[in-house]
Amino acid sequence: MAVNIIIRTLISLFAVGIVVMLFFPIIYELAYNVPTWDNMPDKVLANRDNLYSIFLLVPLIAIGGIVLWAYMAATRKSQDDY
């Protein structure tokens, strides 16, 4: 059971890393290299930067969820104990 949890955890962490590697260049390109942003007011640019910062936190939340799931799966009681 523990080997299964370790393998699933590593695959999940690898998947989060692959998604980050694939989508963050796209998000950066949309956030900073689109010519429409040159004519926007400062409040809109501040909102853009805040939204970009939130997208930076998404992988950290996903990794925290994976670690929490792995801990809960590894420490649960077996059905025979009840």
Tens-digit pLDDT string for the chain (82 aa): 688 889 999 999 999 999 999 998 888 888 888 888 888 899 988 998 898 888 889 999 999 999 999 998 888 776 655 5
Claim: this prediction has a pTM higher than 0.75: no
25 is a domain residue: yes
45 is a domain residue: yes
Count of domains for the chain: 1
Domain span at residue 71 reads: 2-76
- Contact at 8 Å (CB) between 63 and 19? no
Beta-carbon count within 10 A of 34 CB:
10
The confidence score (pLDDT) of residue 61 equals 94
